[in-house]
Chains A and B, each alone.
Chain A
Amino acid sequence: MATSTKRDNGVAEVHDAQQGREPPAIRLAGLWREFGERIALQDVSLELAHGDSLVVIGPNGSGKTTLLRVLATLLRPSGGDVAVLGARLPREAWRARGRIGYVGHEPLLYRDLTVSENLRFHATLYGIQAPERRIDELLERVGMSRRAGELTRNLSAGMAQRAAVCRAVLHEPELLLLDEPSAHLDPEASELIAPLIAAGAGRTCVTVTHDFRAGLAAGGRALALGHGGWAVYSGPAEGLSASDAEAIYRGALR
Chain B
Amino acid sequence: MRALGAILVKDLRVELRTLESVPGMVLFAVTTFVIFRFGLDRTSLDGSLAAGVLLATVLFAAILAVNRIFVAERDQGGLDAIRLAPVDANALLAAKVAALVVYLVILEAIAVPIFAVFFLDEWSALAPLALVLLLADLGLAATGALVSSLATGSRARDLLVPLVLLPLIVAAAAAAEPLLAAGAPEYDEVATWLAVLGLYDVVFLLVGYGVFDFVLED
Hey, which chain A residues are within 8 Å of B13, CB to CB?
113, 117
Most B Cβ at <10 Å: residue of A73, A102, A110, A167: A110
Query: Could you write out 20 A-B pairs with CB less than 8 Å apart?
Result: A73-B84, A74-B84, A97-B86, A102-B84, A104-B77, A106-B76, A107-B77, A108-B76, A108-B77, A109-B81, A110-B72, A111-B76, A112-B72, A117-B10, A124-B2, A124-B6, A125-B3, A125-B87, A126-B86, A167-B81
Whether the pair B14, A112 counts as a contact (CB closer than 8 A) is yes
**Contact of A72 with B by CB under 8 A:** yes
Whether the pair A125, B217 counts as a contact (CB closer than 8 A) is no
Place the interface of chain A in its size category: 20 to 34
Whether the pair A109, B10 counts as a contact (CB closer than 8 A) is no
B71 to chain A, nearest CB (A): 12
Whether the pair B86, A72 counts as a contact (CB closer than 8 A) is no
**Contact of A98 with B by CB under 8 A:** yes
Our pick among B77, B81, B218 for the contact of A125 (Cβ within 8 Å) is B81
Whether the pair B84, A127 counts as a contact (CB closer than 8 A) is no
Most B Cβ at <10 Å: residue of A73, A94, A98, A121: A121
Whether the pair B76, A125 counts as a contact (CB closer than 8 A) is no
Chain B 81-105, CB within 8 Å of chain A: the 1/0 string?
1111111000000000000000000
Place the interface of chain B in its size category: 20 to 34
**Contact of A67 with B by CB under 8 A:** no
| Chain B residues with a Cβ under 8 A of chain A | 2-3, 5-6, 10, 13-14, 17-18, 72, 76-78, 80-87, 217-218
Task: Give the docked Cα–Cα distance between A142 and B153 (Å).
Answer: 35
Hey, which chain A residues are within 8 Å of B217, CB to CB?
76, 90
If over half of A's interface residues share one DSSP class (helix, strand or loop), that class is named, otherwise mixed; here it is loop
Task: Give the docked Cα–Cα distance between A107 and B78 (Å).
Answer: 10
Closest 10 A/B residue pairs (Cβ): A98-B86, A125-B85, A106-B77, A124-B6, A108-B77, A108-B81, A97-B86, A112-B14, A75-B218, A112-B17
Whether the pair B18, A112 counts as a contact (CB closer than 8 A) is yes
Whether the pair A108, B78 counts as a contact (CB closer than 8 A) is yes
Our pick among B14, B80, B85, B218 for the contact of A98 (Cβ within 8 Å) is B85
Task: Give the docked Cα–Cα distance between A167 and B81 (Å).
Answer: 10
Hey, which chain A residues are within 8 Å of B80, CB to CB?
74, 102, 104, 106, 108
A76-B217, A97-B86 are known; give 11 further A-B pairs, CB within 8 A: A73-B84, A75-B218, A98-B86, A106-B77, A107-B77, A110-B72, A112-B17, A113-B14, A124-B6, A125-B82, A127-B86
Hey, which chain A residues are within 8 Å of B87, CB to CB?
125
Whether the pair B84, A97 counts as a contact (CB closer than 8 A) is yes
Whether the pair A74, B218 counts as a contact (CB closer than 8 A) is yes
A183 to chain B, nearest CB (A): 15
Residue on B nearest A126 in the bound complex, by CB: B85
Task: Give the docked Cα–Cα distance between A109 and B83 (Å).
Answer: 13
Task: Give the docked Cα–Cα distance between A167 and B3 (Å).
Answer: 16
Residue on B nearest A104 in the bound complex, by CB: B80
Whether the pair A127, B2 counts as a contact (CB closer than 8 A) is yes
**Contact of A237 with B by CB under 8 A:** no
